[in-house]
Structures are given as C-alpha cells and as structure tokens.
Structure 1
Amino acid sequence: MVSLKSIQTEVDVCYLYQILAENEKDPNVAAVFKQMSAIEHSHALAFLAKNNLDESHLPNPSGRAKALHWIGKCFGYDYILGVLLDTEKSVSSSILKARKQSQTQESISDTAHVAILKNILNSSSNVSGANLARFEKRHRSVGGNALRAAVLGGNDGLVSNFSLVMGIAGATGGQDEVLLAGMAGLLAGALSMALGEWISVKSSQELYENQMQLEMEELETNPEGEQQELALIYMAKGIPEVQAKAMAAELMQNKSQAHELLIKEELGINPEDLKGSAMEAALTSFFLFAIGAIIPVFPFFFWGGMQAVIISTVFSAAGLFLIGAAITLFTGKSVWFSGMRQVVFGLAAAAITFGIGKLIGVSVAG
C-alpha cells in the first residue's frame, strides 16, 4: 500500500511541473517540464491503483503547491525549480533507502528526475546560454535560498526582539521602557545583520576578484601550463587525452573563455556570484530582520502593562506560526506541526526571559 501523502506529493509535483511548462519561454525546457508533469501524473494514478482507488479519488493540489504557484507569480517561476529539485532529491533518497533496507537492486529511474533537473541547470545541451545563466542564478537564490533567507531573517528578528521585550516587560512593567528597549533591539539587530551581510558579500567578492586576477596573470605568463591544466580538466571529465588536448588548444585561442573555465573548475568561482550587490544584500537583511522585530514591539505603542504583554504575545505567536507554516513550503512537513513547533519554542524563549526579568526587577526593587 502507498500512503496518501505520497500520492499528494506526486499530484503537487505534477501540478508544479505543469506550471513551469506553461510559463517557460525556452521550448526545449518547456517540453521537458511537460513530460515530467505527465510522468508524475502517471505515478499518482499508479499509486491510486495500488490502494484500489480510481482516478476520481485523485486529490487536488495542496495549499503548499498553490502557495508556491503564488510565489512563482510574484517572484518568477524559476524560484519553483529549486524547490522541485529538493523534492526530487528527497523522493530519490527515500527510494534508495527503501531499496537498501529491502536489499533490492537499484534502478536508473530512482534518480532519473534529479539527473534531468541537474542537466537543465548545468548542461548546455539544447538549452540556450541565456536560459542556463537564468536557471543557475535562480536556483542558487532559492536553494542559496532567497526565500528561505527571507523567512529565517524575519524569524531571527521576531524571536530575538520578542525575548528582549518580554525580559524588559518582566523587569519594569513600564510601557516607555519596553518601547525604548524594543526599538533599540530592532535597530541594533537589524544594523548588525545588515553589516554582517555587507561584510560577508563584499569580502567574498574581493577574495574571488583577487583569485581571478591571479588566474589571469598565470594564463598570460604561463599559457602552456594553463593549457595543460585545461586538458587535464577535460580528461578528468572522461574525454580521451588526444581530444582533450585539442579542445584545450582550441579554447586557449580565446583567453577570456579559457579564464572563465579555469576559475570555475579550479577555483569553484562562478562570475555570476560577483554581480550581487553587497548594499542590496545588507538592506534586504536589515528590512527582513526589522519586519520580524517590530511585531512584538507594536502593541506597546498603544497599550502598557500586562495588557500590552498579552497582546504582544498573541501577535508574536501568530507571527511565529506563520513563519513555521512558511518553512513547510521547503520542507513539505505539516503546516500545523511546523507552525506550532515554532510557536512553542518562541513562547518558551520569551517566557524564560520574562521570568528572568521578573526576578531581576524584584531584586532591584528589593
């Protein structure tokens, strides 16, 4: 028997592949997505048959799949590709684990979908260079994960400032004191996140640029050695030695292309990574943290005392639940489980700091 969750997963993946196909401009890639969607649909029907159910019992796409569709509309459908690759990897991993436990022979189809998606992301076969650059950039942003970063950035701001606000509220009980501490915590945390992100991006760019410059100098001062390195790179990919040397010699006719290949293969650097703006990353981190951090502070603009504490707790709990629910877009776990887990951990942290604040307040007052 196959679980209903597995059937739902197949339906969701089928739905998302179809969405990608409908919104893909490259006809070759669109055709791949359509066929992938059809394959997932056939899997869902096969699973239904194993459960002695007919097609009328096929479920509709889940709320998670529809939310990803909405995200695709807002941020571009390429964002869905990274989530699908993660899903396919998870499914393949489960299949391989089950085969290992049952001691059955592995099949090429076990990891076929992962291989196809990786080929779309990494292969130049039948896919234009412009589309490849677009796919690589989008996949890195999802699975280097702009959306995950957004969720986690908001979570950091909410949990840290919620705990801070509750600690001050427990110690003083005063509205002005909590507002001052809460806004200070928001600005300090957001500025720290922004500065850290700016330094991280900027230092990485400077390091990469320096390494790239050194590689170009080596290419100009020792072209024979670099040509030999190119040949070895091709040979490591399984290309015969004679052909590898010929390809390396041809590539050396264009030093910029040779340089690009060398920095990718030797240094693991993709020039696309250097195009990101350090200031843009810093501002994004600042605002994501601030959005989460303002939630527990907001009630204290209008209320004070225990009433404000209760309202802040309700607002923060709602925010924590939404963050937990948002995380399920990437994990596929239950919305209620992930949401409530986030609420429990967040409330526990706030309760501890509130209690410590109470003890400190009583001690100081005494």
Structure 2
Amino acid sequence: MTQPGDKDLTQPAVHRLNHRHRDVNGGWLRPAVFGAMDGLVSNLALISGVAGGSVAPNTIVLTGLAGLAAGAFSMAAGEYTSVASQRELVQAELDQERRELAGHPAEEQAELAARYRARGVDPKLADAVAEQLSRDPEQALELHAREELGVDPGELPSPTVAAVASFCSFAVGAMLPVLPYLLGATVLWPAVLVALSGLFLCGVLVSKVTARTWWYTGLRQFILGGTAAALTYGLGNLLGAALG
C-alpha cells in the first residue's frame, strides 16, 4: 500500500523517465539525413536527366551506379574533412582555454563568477559557486568551454562517424532510383515513383526528431525531389534533341 510520503519519493524517478532528451550532439544524424536526401534527389535528378535524352536503360543503370559511387565517396570525404576541421578548431580553442586557466586562475574564476552574476545570481553566491567549481581544473575547463564556446569537450562529433553515416545513407538513398531498372524496368516512371516514395518516407522519419508534422516534412521532400527530377528531365530532353 502506498504511504503518503511514497508519492514524493517516486516523483523524481517518474520525472526522469519523462524528461529524457534525445542525443543532439552525436554527429551522425545530420550527415545521415543529409546523405539520404542528397542521394535520393541527386541520383533521381541524374537518372531523369539521362532518361530525358532517350538513352538505353543500360546506360541509365550505369549512370545511376556511377552517380551512387561518386556521390557516396564525395559525401563521406566532405563530411570527414568538415567535421575533423571543426573538431580541430574546437580542440585548439580548448587548449588555449586550458593555458589561460593554468596561467591566470584568479582572472578565469572572476570571469566565471561575472557570467553567473549576469544571469541574475546573487553576487556572493556567484563568487562562491565559481570558486568551488574552479577547484577541479577539468571541471573548470568544461564550464568555460560551455559558457564561452558553447561546446561540451566530452561530446565533440566524430569525423569517422559522420563520414560513415554520410556514405551509407547516401548509397542507400541513391540506390532507390536505380533499383527499378535493376529489376527490369525500361521506363522512368517506376524509378520516379520509388524515389519520391523514399523521399516522403525520409521526411516522415525526420519529423520524429524535429518539431515539424510528419505530413509537412514528407511533402516538402516529395515536392523538392519531384521538382528536381522534372527540371532535369526537361533539360535532358532539350539537350538530347539538340545533340541528336
């Protein structure tokens, strides 16, 4: 039987269960989402442009597979370089902050206290908290990094994770428009249908980690992909007629 005091004891546990945040610093979500979307849109547009030129299905398959490989490697290399450069920049700033803490501890402590006072903390309490938190050099570094750089030293994104996520997601996305041709299709519309369905589904999945509704994100990706395919098909048709 629950006692009167039991409710107070269980409330914090219930609150913790209902107050868990999703990981927003893992470094994989953005490249994975961007890679899948880019793979779908770019390869759909590429295949549509080539199909608009009235070429053989084998040529379309070869073009799609080449676009998949080139895009996946390009995305992976770009993500790795971008995230690695960002990480190296943050590490350099952390090293600078570490030197400042070692060489001017009193000034850094005063700076931390001033930030707390600026947020409305009582001056004496701000000084006391800053003094206590500054006793541990690594804790002080973490606090200054969060306050001044807006980063957590222990949660920097991984270049390898970003590159692998980007490569795999791009390859999966780029394969969808090619798949109908590999299964025997000889016209464009099955590839367009599969790719646009994949874009809509990707938009729906993205809505699970954002504040947007599923139909909004799904329809947005559907329209963007369809527009890109239509434009490149028209361009391929014009170029095919001119070159033919």
C-alpha RMSD over aligned residues: 2.7
Amino acid at match of 2:14: A
For the pair 1:318 / 2:200, whether they are aligned, the reply is no
For the pair 1:363 / 2:242, whether they are aligned, the reply is yes
* Residues 205 and 214 in structure 2, CA contact (< 8 A), matched pair in contact too: no
In structure 2, the partner of 1:301 is 182
SS of the residue corresponding to residue 266 of structure 1 reads: helix
SS of the residue corresponding to residue 229 of structure 2 reads: helix
In structure 2, the partner of 1:31 is 14
Match of 1:194 among 76, 84, 87: 76
* Residues 198 and 282 in structure 1, CA contact (< 8 A), matched pair in contact too: yes
For the pair 1:166 / 2:48, whether they are aligned, the reply is yes
In structure 2, the partner of 1:222 is 104
Q: 1:312 to 1:247 in 2, by over 3 A?
A: closer
Q: How does 1:230-309 map to 2 (within 5 A)?
A: 230-274=112-156, 276-303=157-184, 307-309=186-188
Shift of 1:343: 3.2
Q: Which has the higher contact order (CA 8 A, sep 6+)?
A: 2
Match of 1:208 among 67, 78, 90: 90
Shift of 1:172: 4.1
1:65-88 deviations in Å (ceiling 9; x for gaps): xxxxxxxxxxxx95xx45xxxxxx
Shift of 1:236: 2.1
* Residues 28 and 165 in structure 2, CA contact (< 8 A), matched pair in contact too: no
* Residues 175 and 303 in structure 1, CA contact (< 8 A), matched pair in contact too: no
Identical positions, percent: 38
Q: 1:235 to 1:301 in 2, by over 3 A?
A: same
Name whichever structure is richer in helix by fraction: 1
Shift of 1:264: 1.6
* Residues 28 and 162 in structure 2, CA contact (< 8 A), matched pair in contact too: no
* Residues 199 and 222 in structure 2, CA contact (< 8 A), matched pair in contact too: yes
Amino acid at match of 1:176: N
Residues 236-245 or 352-361, more deviating? 236-245
* Residues 299 and 308 in structure 1, CA contact (< 8 A), matched pair in contact too: no
Q: 1:186 to 1:252 in 2, by over 3 A?
A: same
Amino acid at match of 2:130: A
**TM-score, reference length from structure 1:** 0.57
* Residues 31 and 79 in structure 2, CA contact (< 8 A), matched pair in contact too: no
Shift of 1:357: 1.1
* Residues 151 and 326 in structure 1, CA contact (< 8 A), matched pair in contact too: no
In structure 2, the partner of 1:18 is none
Q: 1:258 to 1:325 in 2, by over 3 A?
A: closer
Report the Cα distance in structure 2 between the residues aligned to 1:269 and 1:340, rounded to whole angstroms: 34
Q: How does 1:25-64 map to 2 (within 5 A)?
A: 29-32=12-15
Report the Cα distance in structure 2 between the residues aligned to 1:243 and 1:252, rounded to whole angstroms: 14
Give structure 2 stretches of 5+ with no counterpart. Answer: 1-9
SS of the residue corresponding to residue 238 of structure 1 reads: coil
* Residues 230 and 248 in structure 1, CA contact (< 8 A), matched pair in contact too: yes
Q: 1:193 to 1:334 in 2, by over 3 A?
A: closer
Amino acid at match of 1:361: G
SS of the residue corresponding to residue 246 of structure 1 reads: helix
Match of 2:213 among 333, 342, 352: 333
SS of the residue corresponding to residue 135 of structure 2 reads: coil
Q: 1:272 to 1:177 in 2, by over 3 A?
A: same
For the pair 1:177 / 2:59, whether they are aligned, the reply is yes
SS of the residue corresponding to residue 308 of structure 1 reads: coil
Amino acid at match of 1:346: G
Amino acid at match of 1:263: A
Residues 350-359 or 207-216, more deviating? 350-359
